[in-house]
Structure 1
Amino acid sequence: MGSNTAAPHYQALVDIGSNGVRFSISDLSPPNSRSMPTIYQDRSGISLYDAQNSSEAKAPIPTAIIEDLLAALLRFKRTCQDFGVPDSNIRVVATEATRNAINRDDLLNQIGQRTGWKVQLLAKEEEGRLGAMGIASSIDHIEGICMDMGGGSVQLTWVIKKPNGEVNMGPSVSFPYGAAALISELSKLGSQEHDDLQGSIAIKLKTALEKDLQIPSSLLEAAKRSDGFDIYLSGGGFRGWGFLLMSHEKNQPYPIPIINGYSVSSSTFFSDLSEPPIDIASHRISSRRESQIPAVQLLIRALSQSQMDVSSVTFAQGGVREGLLYDGLSSSIRAQSSLVAATLPYAPPSAAALISLLRDATPDCIDHELLTSTVNLLYVHGPVPKDIRVSAALRSTTTGILASANGLSHRDRALLALVLCERWGVGVPNADIEFLFNITRICGPSMSWWAKYIGRVAQGIANLYPAGVIRDEDKKVALEAMFPPAKRLGWDKGSEALGSQTESCQVKMTILSSEVEVAGLVNEWAKDLTKLGKKKHWNRDLSGLPVSAEVTRGKIT
C-alpha cells in the first residue's frame, strides 16, 4: 500500500478520549475530500477516566494502563506505515481525561519518547468547537444547537452552516457531565440526590441557553417559527440512545442501521424507554454503553426540565476526529452536497447533459442533489447479474456503495434507494419486499411515489443512452413537463397529499433522432410513465398523480 498514489492525501488521527482511544485513517484525495472516506478505523477500550476514578480519591493513571496505551499507539504507528501515511499527516489529540490527569506530563513525555508523536491537548473550548465541526461534517444543513457527550464532559454550542461552506458557531460551554463521569457520580447518590443532581444540571443548561451560548437573534427567531430548536447530538452516549430509539420505531425492522442522519421528533426523543424493559443485546450497544444508559437518561431529563423548546433531534456520527478533518477543508469543498460528493466518482461521461434531461421531466421543487446523484449512479449497477440488480440498487445506500458515505440523512438514503430500485424496472425479490416497504415508510406515501416517477424517467434516459454519453450531434429526445402547483406535489413534509383527479403530470417527449429504433424506445417509455399514473400503481393511501405522456417528432433547435 505504500505506493498508493492517494497516500499523500491520507490523514491519520488518534483521539485519546475519556472512554476509549480511537484511531482512523481517512482519504482526502480529490474528488473524495468532502466525503472524507475512512479507509481504516479501530478503537481501544482503554478508559483513562475509569483508570483515574476507580476509587473515591482521584489517582494518577496507573503504569499498566500507560503501557497498554503505548502498545496501542505503536500498533497504529505500524499501521500508518503499512498504509503509507506521511509522518506529517499523523495527529494525536487528547481531551478531558488526559487534560486533567495528575501525571499528565509524564504520560505525554512517554508517548513522545516511545512513538515520536506530540500529543495536542485540546482545551475545553477547542474540544467543543471541533466536536461541533464534526457534527457539521456529518449533516449538510445545520441551524440549531449542537451537543457532544463524551466520557468526561458535555459540550454545547450553537451552529449555523451556510450554503457557501462557512460554519458559524458561538462560544462552547463545557460541563463535567460526560457519560462516564455522570455514572460514577450517580453510583454514590441515593434516589433523592439523583433528582437534586438532575435539577442542578437543568438549571445550568437553562443558564447556558439563555446567557452563556449567546444565541443570535436569527436563530432564536427561527426556533420560534419552528416551535423549538433543532438539536444535533454526537458522542457515544447520545448515539447509544439513538440506537435505542431506532429499535423502538414503529417501522420495524428499521431498514437503515446507520446512526448518522437519524432524526426524531421532540416527543420521541424525550420518551421513556424503560417500559417495556430494554433488550440491550439486540440493539448493538456495548455492555459499557449499557451501563451508562442511566447517565444519558438523566441528562436528557435535565434537558427537558431546562424548559428548552425542541423541535427535532438529529444524531451525528462525527466528533472531534471528523471535526479536525473538516476544519482543514476549504469552504468551497465544505459547501459541496454530501450526496453529490459521495456519488461523483461514479458519474457517467455526459452527466451534466443527462441531469439536464432528467431535470426537464421533474418538478422544480424536487431536490437537485437527488437528481444529480441519480444520474451519477445511473449505470453503476449495470455489471451486477440481472437477477440481483434491483436488490443491489435498493440496498446500495445502506449496505452497498454508499454505506460509508458521510453526511447523508436517512431521508436521502431512502429516497435514492427507491429511485435506483425503480430505475432497473423489474420486480423486487421476495427477500427484499419487507425492506422495500420499510424504506418506503421513511419517505412517506407522496415522496415515495415521486421517487418511483424519477426512477422511471431515469430508466428511459438510460435506455436511450446506454453508455451515458450524449454527443451534440446525437441528441435523441427532448423532454418537457407540466405539473400541478408545488403545494399539491407532496414533496416536502406538511404539503397536501397527492391524489387529485383534476390534476396530472403532463410529459411531452419530442423525438429528435432519425434513428428508427429510438421511436420504439420512447413509445415504451411513455407507456411506462402512463402506467405509473394508474391508481393500481399508486401507494396504499392512494398517493399518486395521473400521468399523461405524449410522444411527438421534432427537430433539434
Structure 2
Amino acid sequence: MASAASSQHYQALVDIGSNGIRFSISDLSPPMTRITPTLYQSRCAISLYDAQNATGTKTPIPPIVIGEVLAVLLQFKRTCQDFEVQNGNIRLVATEATRNAINRDDLLRQVGETTGWKVELLTKEEEGRLGAMGIASSIGHIEGICMDMGGGSVQMTWVVKRPDGDVDMSPVGSVSFPYGAAALMSALSEISVRKEASLQDEMASKFRRGLEDIQIPPGLRDEALRKGGYTLYLSGGGFRGRGYILMSNEDIQPYPIPIINCYTVGAPRFLSNLEESPASASAFRVSSRRASQAPAVQLVIKALAQAEIPISKVVFTQGGVREGLLYSGLPPSIRSQSPLVASTLPHAPKSASSLTNLLRDAVPGMIETELLASTINLLYFHGSMPKDIRAAAALRSTTTGVLAGAHGLSHQDRGLLALVLCERWGADLNEADVPIYDSLQILIGHLAWWTKYVGRVAEGIANLFPAGVVREDEQTIVVESGVTSVKDMQHCWLKISVLRQDLAGTVREWAEDLRKLGKKKYWGKQGSGMKVNVNVLT
C-alpha cells in the first residue's frame, strides 16, 4: 500500500496506439524524478488499425473490439485504485488509428461513460512532438533527427537538448508519413514487386521533402556536415525490432547490455543486410507480430537510404509518446539532470559530496564527474551481500541489478559504471561472469583500464571511510593526481598526504595496490594502460 506522500507523485498513462494499448504507472517522486521510475507497465495487443482494415476496406471499429478496449480500461482503472493513483494524475491519449476512425466519437463516448475518463486525441504534430520528447528523455544528450514508427504512421523531426534542460525542435512540430508498420504491411499485401519499387521511390521522395519541411537550423546542419552526417534517433516497436536483430549479430558476443535504449550502430551497418529477418522472434526479443512486420520496417529503411539523408550513426531509444508525456511535464531543472547521477542518488552515503571530491582529485581528468559521483553513490550498495558475489552483483548492477530500469542511461555509462563497481569489490568473478566482464571491456575500449584505476581508488576510499562519513572537524588525507609523459610513455601519478597517522598503514596498502595496476600484466586484453606512480607523504 503506497503512502499518501508517495502516491501523490504517481502518474498513470494510457497510450491508445495503432498496434496496441499501453498502460503505465510511474513514480515522479524526487530525487529520481528525472528517470521516471516505472511501478507498473503492461501492453494489450488490441490493434485498432487491424480492426478497421481487416477486410481491405476501411470500416468502423467493430463493437466487439470496442468492448475489449472498455474491458482493459476498466481493469487498468482498478489497478490505478490499488496503487492509489489520484484521479487528476490519470491521462489517456490516442493516436493515428483512433484519430482517423470512422466511429471515433462513439468510441470516445463509450470510454467516457464506462470509465469516467476523457481521451485526448493527439494531432499528428502533437504526436510527433511528444514522440521526440520521449526520445529526448531516453538520452542524456541529444542532437539530431528523430523518427518514431507506429502502426499507422512515421513521424520525423529534429531535436536538440540544451544543457539547461530546454528542448528545441522543429517549429512545425513534426512531419507525418502514412508509413507505419501495420499500414505498410497492408499496402504490401496488395501490390506487386514492381509496384513495391514504385512505393519505395515515393517514400524516398517524401522523406527528402520531409527533411526540408522540418526546417533544420543551420547550426545543426553544419555540425552534421562536419561529423559526416546526422545522428538518427529511432523510436517505435518496428525500429526497435531492427535494433534487436543488429544487437544479436554484434561482433561482441555475448553482447553485454541487453537493453535496447541507447544501443548505437554506424549508419552503414544499419542500412546493410536489410533482407535479414528474425528466424525466431524470441531469439531477438521481438514479438511474433513485430517479426511479421519486418518487411515494412525494411522498406522504410531502404527508402531512407534511397533518400540519401546524410546519417553518421543510429541510436535506438525506448522513448515514445508515454515517456514524452512524462518528460514534457518536468521543469527544465529536472530535465537537465544527469540520468546516471539521478538514478543512484537514493543510495548516496552521508558524505557523498566530500567523497566525490576526493575521488575526483585522485582521477586526473580522464573520467566524467557524473560517473565519479555515481560511483560514490553506489560505493557501499553491495556491501551487505556475501563476499563471494559482491563483484558479480556489481558487474550486473546496470543491466539486471539496481540500475536495470533506470531510464536515460547510455550503454557507455552502463558499461563504465559496472566495471568500476566490479573493480571496487576486487573483480573476483566466477567462470559464469568472466565473459560478461570481458565483453564489457571490449565495449568500453580504451577506457577499460581507467575503470580498473577508478575502481581501485574507490575501494581505497571505502576502506578509509567505511561508513561513508567524512568528519568536518578533522583532517584525513589530501590527494593530488595527474598524467605526465616519460620517455614517450604516459605515467599516472598520485600524491597522497596523510594527515591522520592512524590511516598511514591503510594508505600504504592502497598505494601498493595502485602501483601494481600500472604493471603491463594488469593492463588487460585491451593492452592499454599506464604506469602508476604513487607517493605517500606522512
Q: What is the TM-score of this pair, normalised by structure 2?
A: 0.98
Q: What displacement does 1:351 show?
A: 0.5
Q: Distance in 2 between matches of 1:362 and 1:266?
A: 34
Is the aligned partner of 1:334 residue 2:335?
Answer: yes
Is the aligned partner of 1:544 residue 2:529?
Answer: yes
Q: What displacement does 1:475 show?
A: 2.9
* Residue number in structure 2 paired with 1:84: 84
The structure-2 alpha-carbon separation of the partners of 1:214 and 1:532, relative to structure 1 and needing over 3 Å to count, comes to same
Q: What displacement does 1:539 show?
A: 2.4
Alignment-mate amino acid for residue 407 of structure 1: G
Q: What displacement does 1:2 show?
A: 4.7
Q: What displacement does 1:482 show?
A: 1.6
The structure-2 alpha-carbon separation of the partners of 1:228 and 1:420, relative to structure 1 and needing over 3 Å to count, comes to same
Alignment-mate amino acid for residue 490 of structure 2: E
Q: What displacement does 1:208 show?
A: 1.2
Number of aligned residue pairs: 536
Is the Cα contact below 8 Å between 2:278 and 2:284 reproduced in 1? no
Alignment-mate amino acid for residue 432 of structure 2: A
Q: Distance in 2 between matches of 1:206 and 1:68?
A: 40
Q: Distance in 2 between matches of 1:341 and 1:484?
A: 34
The alignment yields a C-alpha RMSD, in angstroms, of: 1.3
Q: Gaps spanning 5+ residues in structure 2: where?
A: none
Q: What displacement does 1:519 show?
A: 1.1
Q: What SS is found at the alignment partner of 1:430? A: coil
Q: Distance in 2 between matches of 1:71 and 1:303?
A: 40
Q: What displacement does 1:4 show?
A: 4.8
Is the Cα contact below 8 Å between 2:16 and 2:92 reproduced in 1? yes
* Residue number in structure 2 paired with 1:60: 60
- Worse overlay, 118-127 or 531-540: 531-540
Q: Distance in 2 between matches of 1:164 and 1:94?
A: 31
Alignment-mate amino acid for residue 239 of structure 2: F
- Worse overlay, 27-36 or 279-288: 279-288
1:349-428, aligned counterparts within 5 Å? 349-428=350-429
Q: What displacement does 1:514 show?
A: 2.7
Is the Cα contact below 8 Å between 2:245 and 2:278 reproduced in 1? no
* Residue number in structure 1 paired with 2:507: 522
Q: What displacement does 1:116 show?
A: 0.1
Is the Cα contact below 8 Å between 1:501 and 1:546 reproduced in 2? no
Is the aligned partner of 1:429 residue 2:430?
Answer: yes
Alignment-mate amino acid for residue 100 of structure 2: N
Is the aligned partner of 1:240 residue 2:227?
Answer: no
Alignment-mate amino acid for residue 332 of structure 1: S
Q: What displacement does 1:280 show?
A: 3.0
Is the aligned partner of 1:534 residue 2:519?
Answer: yes
Is the Cα contact below 8 Å between 1:2 and 1:81 reproduced in 2? no
Alignment-mate amino acid for residue 104 of structure 1: R
Q: Distance in 2 between matches of 1:403 and 1:339?
A: 12
Q: Distance in 2 between matches of 1:316 and 1:540?
A: 31
Q: What displacement does 1:133 show?
A: 0.3
Q: What SS is found at the alignment partner of 2:8? A: helix
* Residue number in structure 1 paired with 2:17: 17
Partner residue of 1:202 out of 201, 204, 207: 204
Q: What displacement does 1:439 show?
A: 1.1
* Residue number in structure 2 paired with 1:165: 165
Is the aligned partner of 1:146 residue 2:146?
Answer: yes
Cα-to-partner distance string for 1:175-199 (whole Å, 9 max, x where unaligned): 0100111111111111111111111
Q: What displacement does 1:465 show?
A: 0.2
How many percent identity over aligned positions? 60
Alignment-mate amino acid for residue 114 of structure 1: T
Alignment-mate amino acid for residue 138 of structure 2: S
Q: What displacement does 1:268 show?
A: 1.3
Cα-to-partner distance string for 1:71-106 (whole Å, 9 max, x where unaligned): 000000000000000000000000000000000000
* Residue number in structure 2 paired with 1:503: 490
The structure-2 alpha-carbon separation of the partners of 1:2 and 1:400, relative to structure 1 and needing over 3 Å to count, comes to closer
Is the Cα contact below 8 Å between 1:500 and 1:545 reproduced in 2? no
* Residue number in structure 1 paired with 2:48: 48
Q: What displacement does 1:5 show?
A: 2.7
Alignment-mate amino acid for residue 551 of structure 1: V
Q: Distance in 1 between matches of 2:351 and 2:291?
A: 51
Q: What SS is found at the alignment partner of 1:504? A: strand
Is the Cα contact below 8 Å between 2:124 and 2:176 reproduced in 1? yes
Q: What displacement does 1:252 show?
A: 1.2
The structure-2 alpha-carbon separation of the partners of 1:61 and 1:275, relative to structure 1 and needing over 3 Å to count, comes to closer
Q: Gaps spanning 5+ residues in structure 1: where?
A: 486-498
Is the Cα contact below 8 Å between 1:261 and 1:408 reproduced in 2? yes
Q: What SS is found at the alignment partner of 1:401? A: coil
The structure-2 alpha-carbon separation of the partners of 1:139 and 1:448, relative to structure 1 and needing over 3 Å to count, comes to same
Is the Cα contact below 8 Å between 2:484 and 2:493 reproduced in 1? no
Q: What displacement does 1:282 show?
A: 1.0
* Residue number in structure 2 paired with 1:32: 32
The structure-2 alpha-carbon separation of the partners of 1:167 and 1:472, relative to structure 1 and needing over 3 Å to count, comes to same
Q: Distance in 1 between matches of 2:473 and 2:504?
A: 17
Q: What displacement does 1:363 show?
A: 2.1
* Residue number in structure 2 paired with 1:314: 315
